[in-house]
A and B are shown apart, each in its own frame.
Chain A
Amino acid sequence: MSSFTIDCLFAIAFVLPLVGVVLSLATRRFSWNNTLVQSMFILSGFAGLIAGSYFFALLGIGNSASFNGTFFGLVNIALNSMQVFFLMLVYGGVLLTSLYAIQSLPPYKDVYVLPTLNVASAFFIVGMQATILSPSLFTFLMAWEIMSVSAYFLVIADRSDESLRAGWLYFVMTHIGFACIAAGLLLLAGGNLFASWHDVALSALGATPLAISIAFVLLLAGFGSKAGLVPLHQWLPYAHPQAPSGSSALLSGVMLKVALFGFIQGVALFPFVPSFSAFLVISIGLLSAFFGALRAAVENDAKRVLAWSSIENMGLIFSAVGIYLLVHGSQDSAVSAIAPSIALFIILHTANHFIFKTGLFMAVGAVASKTHTRNLDELGGLAQRWPIFAGIFLALSLAAAALPPFGTFFGEWTYFQTLASGMTVSAFFGGSFALILALLALVGGLALFAYVRMFSAIFLGRARTTHAEQVSPMPILLWLPSLFSVLLSIIAGLFLFPILSAPNTFMEGVTLFGDVAILGGVSMNAWWVLLSVIFIGVLLTVCRRSFSNRNPARITDTWDCGQPITPRMQYTATGFSAPIRFFFKSILMSEKELIIEPISMSNPWIVRRRLVWSIKSFFEYWLYRPIGIAVFAVSRAVKRLQNGVIQLYLLLVICALVFTLATTL
């Protein structure tokens, strides 16, 4: 498998979505339009995955792997392992979601205009690939814009009021982020818009420390906003639920990773990182993780829960990036030994989060498409209708909660273990890592709570409304991609974990089945864990069968104290999260209002009672609202200049002109 083939395959993977655009528009009258376009995307994903695999097979996984592609001689692109890794995530996501979209989109053909939706998806895919492949600053910014704007069209696809509002918020915030990114990168490049990354790194060597600091903050703000870091995350919980499910999966599973890639690539250009940067990134990451987990535990819209969970996981990854910035390149060898394990966690968790989040979004989308509701308080009892699908969803929830034998467990174990081992390095590290560990424990607990709540509200118990009761069997392509995600998650734990921890030696085959050792000599073997889980499961089943009561049991109805049992009597998702809401009341700012309206004139005791419960968004209330009020106040003050007299406006223009001339001459 030569490098020319790899080149061709990458080029094919890049071009096929564009072919899909043309085909989508050309065949839009036919009913097989959607299937055709999705097949194009699937082929593109396949080609890319094969190309990536051959890349790694040919050149190894270490940092020094690089590859010069020419895309049929048109462009000159150099690829390194990190780029190919993130590209693999993109292609994997495209493959899974396009497979899903073949059967998930047709029921919605009255809501979405399918051909144009697929055009937007195609540009989104191309944009993501181009962002990762970009060799220079200008192409990066252009590709980023393409990606962001096509994502906007995906968000507003169903043209409802909610989608339009969410799309507007996303549009504004993504462009603020774009401005920050462009400003930061241009600061580094010294104003040269058409510099290649190499040139940018060179000119960054000559930048002043102040410029470096400003550039870092700008890059963090821009990429962080796209990745969903608090406090610039505001668009994420509104935008991700509104897009069609396959696109939500791509937005949440892949686009956030592309933002992470952009941030890492940007930071790699810095000759040195400012001293405050590590702490800034760590604190923002941990804050996002905590806030995301908390909100995920109390939201009622299933997709919004997943969106907040994405924020939580990206916060985790960024906190690890911060720790990496802190320990990397330190003079003390004990300190810098922490870095490889942290890097392992970052890569593992990126891949794992992509796997389970894509699977979960597709699964929730399947549920929503069959029951026509995303509200956790309206679902229930679906495990009786779809037992296999419930099993898949359970597996994905376990993966999301980082439980073995799924891959997320191994990633998070690496992180926790590295922090624990690193505590002994110095008192400073001991104190801060202990704090971080405590916060991570809180985040992990809240995340587990959130997923237990989501799974049980959707699948366990009985259906709470008729929506969830009368459901038809699910078409295979709606749950098959989620099943693939489950399998991928297990495979990630078994194979990715050993391979990535020792990238230069994996070809020898030894480490694939052996223990994986990280900092401090502590090791974990993924196969043992999987086998133990299977063994314990088998053991429990056998014991239960053999030691259980041999007496025949009589089965009767549930004792209902004489009242008829209704599904409304079971826990709702809202009720289940009540203790969390109560404990974090000041952060969640939840309000309960009991509105009592008398109905009858003659009898004041006959009333209608209504309970209204709401959660205010913390950052919207404390950060965005004051900024908005200030901006409006300033605009109102400036508006007094707008008195309608044209000559005044002209005078202002002239003054501006004169001022500019005076300052430049």
Chain B
Amino acid sequence: MLRLLSKIITTGKRTEKCPQIPTYIEEIGENLKHAIHTLYGGRTLRIRHVDAGSTNGEEYELTALGNAFYDIERFGISFVASPRHADVLTVSGPVTRNMEHALKTAYEMTPGPKIVVALGDGACTGGIWKDSYAVVGAVENVIPVDARIPGDPPTPEDVLRGLLSIVTATRK
């Protein structure tokens, strides 16, 4: 017990100093929040992500968007589990033949109005797997795509900027 107490006292604070949070996050975030608010009248923008055969790089970046550093949820964006609840469908990876039917079904099940976003190089153009026997190719070969966010994988900043441009474009 005493050992524990002494350890508590002798060990100081080990937390790191918060790194400098880039200002662009706040900037884009505020714009995004404003845009979503005017678009939906206070409701959040709900994103359902479909992994149609990616390297998971895009998923990591999307997950990172939700952590304490970026914290996308304060801007009015949330990720949902069921396509029935989704406003935006983000698709990553070149669509493999196995996932083609599932992607089509998810698209069918999403109620309109919906926005389909192709995330990453593989989804936009097929990437390095283009013309492979195992993939169908770009997402637009399977379902109609409204927007593209290229990159392999796109950085969180790219994703944020991309989402902002999509939302402002939709508003018009």
Contact = CB atoms under 8 A, between A and B. Distances in A.
Touch A–B, Cβ below 8 Å: yes
Contacts of A509: none
A562 B102 contact: yes
B111 A562 contact: no
A201 to B, nearest CB: 73
B105 A554 contact: no
Nearest to B105: A562
A554 B102 contact: no
B83 A554 contact: no
A559 interface: yes
A556 interface: yes
Nearest to B83: A559
Contacts of A556: 108-109
Interface string B32-65: 0000000000000000000000000000000000
Contacts of A557: 109
Interface string A559-572: 10010000000000
B112 interface: yes
B112 A559 contact: no
Contacts of A562: 102, 105
Interface string B91-126: 000000000001001001101100000000000000
Nearest to B99: A562
B23 to A, nearest CB: 40
Contacts of B109: 556-557, 559
Contacts of B82: 559
B84 A554 contact: no
Interface in A559-615: 559, 562
A554 B109 CA distance: 10
Nearest to B112: A554
Contacts of A559: 82-84, 109
A contact face: mostly helix, strand, loop, or mixed: loop
Interface string B125-160: 000000000000000000000000000000000000
Interface string A98-125: 0000000000000000000000000000
A654 to B, nearest CB: 87
Nearest to A562: B102
A556 B106 CA distance: 11
A559 B84 CA distance: 8
Interface string A271-307: 0000000000000000000000000000000000000
Nearest to B102: A562
A565 to B, nearest CB: 12
Interface residues of A, number: 5
Interface in A533-573: 554, 556-557, 559, 562
Interface SS of B by simple majority = helix
Nearest to B85: A559
Contacts of B102: 562
A375 to B, nearest CB: 33
A554 to B, nearest CB: 7
Nearest to A560: B105
Contacts of B84: 559
B167 to A, nearest CB: 23
B28 to A, nearest CB: 32
Contacts of B111: 554
B106 to A, nearest CB: 8
A559 B83 CA distance: 8
Contacts of B108: 556
A580 B111 CA distance: 38
A557 B110 CA distance: 11
Nearest to B109: A559
A417 to B, nearest CB: 46
B113 to A, nearest CB: 11
A557 B106 CA distance: 11
Nearest to A559: B109
A554 B84 CA distance: 12
A559 B85 CA distance: 11
Greatest chain A CB density within 10 A among B82, B83, B109 is at: B109
A634 B118 CA distance: 84
A109 B112 CA distance: 58
A557 B82 CA distance: 14
A554 B111 CA distance: 8
Contacts of A554: 111-112
A626 B167 CA distance: 76
A557 B109 CA distance: 8
A574 B83 CA distance: 31
B129 to A, nearest CB: 22
A405 B7 CA distance: 74
A556 B107 CA distance: 11
Nearest to B101: A562
B32 to A, nearest CB: 28
B152 to A, nearest CB: 27
Contacts of B83: 559
A562 B103 CA distance: 10
A562 B109 CA distance: 11
A521 B171 CA distance: 65
B103 to A, nearest CB: 11
A60 B84 CA distance: 65
Nearest to A556: B108
B26 to A, nearest CB: 36
Nearest to A551: B112
Residue among A554, A556, A557, A559 having the largest count of chain B Cβ atoms under 10 Å: A559
A554 B112 CA distance: 9
B52 to A, nearest CB: 12
A518 B21 CA distance: 76
Contacts of B112: 554
A557 B108 CA distance: 9
A554 B114 CA distance: 14
A25 B112 CA distance: 71
A598 to B, nearest CB: 34
Contacts of B105: 562
B99 to A, nearest CB: 10
5 closest A-B pairs by beta carbon, nearest first, are A559-B109, A562-B102, A559-B84, A556-B108, A559-B82
Interface of A: 554, 556-557, 559, 562
7 contacts: A554-B111, A556-B108, A556-B109, A557-B109, A559-B84, A559-B109, A562-B105
Given A559-B83, A562-B105, 8 more contacts: A554-B111, A554-B112, A556-B108, A556-B109, A559-B82, A559-B84, A559-B109, A562-B102
